[in-house]
Chains A and B, each alone.
Chain A
Amino acid sequence: MIAPTLYTARLTLRMPVLADFAPRAAFYASDRSIWEDGPLDRRSAWRIFASEVGQWSLLGFGPFSLDDRSSGDYLGEVGIYQPEGYPEPELGWFTTPEAEGKGIAQEAARAVMIWAHKTFGWNHLDNYIDPRNARSIALALRLGGQRSAAPGADPTDVVIRHDLRGLA
């Protein structure tokens, strides 16, 4: 199983490929990754990236890479993640520094939530976010999510739940 290709107004969402690793490795090498267990070396970044890509084969869902529909530029990743130990599938996102602040993750996350609802019949999807990651929490709330008392991946995670039933 690999990712289907989805389209939004500005984005193509597609199966990740090897070339997508470089921007992820750069993210993990930088201080931008402090709320995602970073900074991490290239080998650790590979292990995380490859394990997320491998979720498509094991679970039938995983990360979508995001391309700008007009330029073809890689802009980031939005996906659904459930490595062993996660109580439920998690909605997550990452953008390159160039793509930040343009609503890219928001646009892609909406498409992924609609896809998940249609494909699996799920009625909700949660974000697990480090409580100090204010930018990500703000995005989750902007998407219409509500803070939830459900468990996250870590006991300290902020869990934000999205109701998928009204999406279309």
Chain B
Amino acid sequence: MTLCLTTARLNLVPPAAAHVLAYQAFIASDRAAQRGWSALPHEAWRNFAAILGHTVLRGFGPFVGQDRETGRPIGIFGPWWPEGQAEREIKWTIFDSADEGKGLAAEAARACLTHAFTTLGWSTAVSYIADDNARSAALALRLGALQDGTWTTPRGTTLRVFRHLPPKGTP
């Protein structure tokens, strides 16, 4: 899949081998540990490979957002629907806390929402957000999503459901 999206500050490109180290550094960070993610590098490698495999199997998947000027990978954003997950989701993850607070995730998420509701033809999309992740919840609301109850994963974790509305201008 060579599909790319472009925003004011980011190129959203398919995940590739060149992004593995940035992803592993994020997974090893305290911020990832706070989200309950595994910190082992070989586990991170498999998670990253599973993101690429998701795109092959589903025909859509998340993008790596790269700084348009430097090419530096900023985070992972986009459509996500692994088996075992109730609904199609728009995800966002900023790798480095230094890149938070600049509206980059909002910028990427908006482009991904338009992509999902138009190119992919989705009729609805959610974001699943943990109770203690106030920053992501605030972003979901800023994107215009509405709180829509909770979803309990097969492993028993209860997440808040934020339901996105089709972006303006979507048929």
Contact B82 A85 (CB under 8 A): no
B16 partner residues in chain A, CB cutoff 8 A: 57-58
Tell yes or no: A77 within 8 A of B by CB.
no
A56 partner residues in chain B, CB cutoff 8 A: 56
> If the complex has contacts A18-B57, A41-B154, are A84 and B83 also in contact, measured as CB distance less than 8 A?
no
B57 partner residues in chain A, CB cutoff 8 A: 16-18, 21, 49-50, 53
Tell yes or no: A46 within 8 A of B by CB.
yes
Contact A43 B46 (CB under 8 A): no
A47 partner residues in chain B, CB cutoff 8 A: 46-47, 50, 82
Tell yes or no: A2 within 8 A of B by CB.
yes
Contact A83 B58 (CB under 8 A): no
Contact A83 B49 (CB under 8 A): yes
A46 partner residues in chain B, CB cutoff 8 A: 50, 82-84
A49: nearest residue on chain B (CB-CB)? B53
Contact A52 B84 (CB under 8 A): no
Q: Which B residues between 48 and 96 are near A, CB-CB below 8 angstroms?
A: 48-54, 56-58, 82-85
Tell yes or no: B42 within 8 A of A by CB.
yes
Contact B49 A54 (CB under 8 A): yes
Contact B82 A50 (CB under 8 A): yes
Tell yes or no: A117 within 8 A of B by CB.
no
B-side residues, CB < 8 A to A, are: 16-17, 20, 41-42, 45-54, 56-58, 82-85, 153-155
5 contacts between A and B (CB under 8 A): A41-B154, A48-B50, A50-B53, A58-B16, A58-B52
A15-B56, A43-B154, A57-B16 given; name 7 further pairs at CB < 8 Å.
Answer: A18-B58, A43-B84, A45-B83, A46-B83, A51-B50, A54-B51, A54-B52
The 9 tightest CB contacts between A and B, nearest first, are A54-B52, A54-B53, A50-B53, A53-B53, A84-B45, A54-B49, A43-B84, A85-B42, A46-B83
